[in-house]
Structures are given as C-alpha cells and as structure tokens.
Amino acid sequence: MKIIKRTGSHFREAAGGMVLIAAHVAGQPAQFPPVEFVHNDQPVEDIELGPTGALYSYTVVHPGKDKPPYGLAMVDFEPGVRAFGRLLFDTVPPAIGSHVRVVPFTLPDGTPDYAFQE
C-alpha cells in the first residue's frame, strides 16, 4: 500500500468569496485542515467550507506590551466542520453565534493565509 502526500492549499478564492478546504476520507468525518497523507486507494473528497460560518468561540491573545493583541476563533461550517484561525476585529469582537466570513490574511513573514471577520 502506497502513502500519498496531498498538496495544495487549505483555502482558496471561490465565486462567492474565500473558502476553506476540508477533506472527507471514506469512513471518517470531514475535517479541517484536510488530511495531509492518504493511502493511494482511499477516496478523498475535498469540501468547500464557507464563505461564511458561525462563530463558536474566540479568545483574545495579549502577547506582550510591545505587540498588539489579536483574536483566535473557532468557527462552525456546514456540514458540521469546525475550523480554527485568526479573528479580525476593530475594537469589539463579534458575538458568539454571529456570522463571520473567511477573508485573506497575510502572516508576518508574508505568507498568505486566511482569517475570520464579521
């Protein structure tokens, strides 16, 4: 049995906005981020999550006096997949249960990524 490493990003632009890419491997629930390694005979289905989801939980991280605080969130998407990522907000975080969108975000090192924003 051969193991295959899946390649490709776990987010992308779609017609309705940015989406996350989850994976559904036969016999297992869909998960995000998608599985990285599969057996070559395992069927894997990519599932688009978003562009909006429901805010399940969040926290605000205060890294120190010289760095600004930032948010981290867990967001629920159909079909029952929960994703983790940065939460962008100005001064007041969104309410639990509110709808947030997947948006483009750039990491400090310049790497493209995603975040959630109301």
Digit-coded pLDDT (tens) for 66-89 = 988 899 999 999 989 999 999 999
Go through the domains of the chain in sequence order and give each one's CATH number. Answer: 3-117 (2.40.50.840)
**Is residue 1 over pLDDT 70?**
no
**CA 62 – CA 52 distance, rounded (Å):** 26
**Is residue 39 over pLDDT 90?**
no
CA distances from 85 to 4, 27, 41, 65, 104 (A): 26, 26, 31, 23, 11
pLDDT, averaged across the chain: 91
| pTM confidence score | 0.89
Of 5-9, 16-20, 26-30, the least confident: 5-9
As a residue count, the chain comes to 118
